[in-house]
Amino acid sequence: MFGRRKKRVAAEDAAGEAEQVVDGVDSEAEEAEAERLRLEPAPRPDGPWDVSEVSNPGEGRVDLGGLFVPGVDGMELRVEVAGDAIVAATVVLNDSAIQLQAFAAPKREGIWTEVREEIAAGITQQGGIIDEVEGPLGWELRAQVPVQLPDGTGGSQVVRFVGVDGPRWFLRGVISGQGAVQPQAAGLLEQIFRDTVVVRGDGPMAPRDPIVLKLPSDAQMVPEGVQQEEGSRFSGGMGQLQRGPEITEVR
């Protein structure tokens, strides 16, 4: 009888030790995951740039307030709004486009790793396909997103999500069109992303708050009903953009 009790106690002790080991492993894994998400922003030797790193940000770029966007021949520049604020700019070049949007970020923590996971989860829930790869701009998501085609049938749209963490800001780009499927068509869009200058400002902002943009002084408003395309459907957990006033600047 005593022998059986000793065996039972020993088994219980062993189970308790095993549980502690498992708990310890889980705790270490959670800490490692948290550290991975709190990585400091990586160096940006090729851009995008903080306004403090560029002597003349307005040279060769369109001044949108929170962003200075490089101008290239033949490009069309559009801005989109959320509520009453302009928060995104889209550069259309031939049959490709890149949407640029900047957000506030913690002083010493990058958020692109976390944002990628949120975007991937959202698209996967829609039935889309995600591939995380290391591309010319660093780690990015290449996605096949379900869409409804003009004839009412289902299809998919290929897009690339790129992002870079800067000092207290995060710049995200969404490449669509031929630039998302053909590398040779994306080179100029990638260079535009690299050469963009972000103006975070010194005021307090909560992480992920969009950095507000403004219209260029020489902007021409596009009349209503002209080139009314569907607004961005991708938010990455940062708040859905809604279609608003659009401006076009042809350079």
* Domain-located, residue 43: no
Band of residue 108 on the pLDDT scale cut at 50, 70, 90: confident
Q: In this structure, are 27 and 93 located in the same domain?
A: no
Q: In this structure, are 21 and 106 located in the same domain?
A: no
Q: In this structure, are 14 and 112 located in the same domain?
A: no
Helix ranges (H only) for 1-135 are 2-37, 112-125
Domain that holds residue 56: 49-250
Q: In this structure, are 146 and 63 located in the same domain?
A: yes
Tell me: pLDDT of 43 over 80.
Answer: no
Residue 188 belongs to what H/E stretch?
Answer: helix 183-194
Question: Are 202 and 134 contacting, i.e. CB atoms less than 8 angstroms apart?
Answer: no
Residues in the chain: 251
| Span 48-59, pLDDT tens digits | 999 999 999 999
Q: In this structure, are 113 and 145 located in the same domain?
A: yes
Q: In this structure, are 16 and 116 located in the same domain?
A: no
How far is CA 173 from each of CA 14, 26, 78, 141, 244, rounded to the nearest angstrom?
53, 35, 14, 11, 19
How far is CA 198 from each of CA 66, 68, 118, 159, rounded to the nearest angstrom?
6, 7, 23, 23
Q: In this structure, are 150 and 232 located in the same domain?
A: yes
Average pLDDT over residues 78-96: 90
Predicted pLDDT of residue 218: 67
Q: In this structure, are 9 and 107 located in the same domain?
A: no
Among 88, 114, 60, 52, CA closest to 213:
88
Q: In this structure, are 203 and 152 located in the same domain?
A: yes
Tell me: pLDDT of 208 over 80.
Answer: yes
Q: In this structure, are 57 and 136 located in the same domain?
A: yes
Q: Is 28 helix (H, G, I), strand (E, B) or coil?
A: helix
| Span 145-185, pLDDT tens digits | 998 888 888 888 999 999 999 999 999 999 999 999 998 89
* Domain-located, residue 42: no
Band of residue 46 on the pLDDT scale cut at 50, 70, 90: confident
* Domain-located, residue 44: no
Q: In this structure, are 4 and 68 located in the same domain?
A: no
Tell me: pLDDT of 206 over 60.
Answer: yes
Which CATH number does the domain housing residue 213 bear? 3.40.1000
Q: In this structure, are 54 and 33 located in the same domain?
A: no
How far is CA 32 from each of CA 19, 105, 118, 119, 200, rounded to the nearest angstrom?
20, 21, 18, 21, 30
Q: How many domains does the chain divide into? A: 2
Predicted pLDDT of residue 173: 97
Average pLDDT over residues 219-248: 40
Tell me: pLDDT of 187 over 90.
Answer: yes
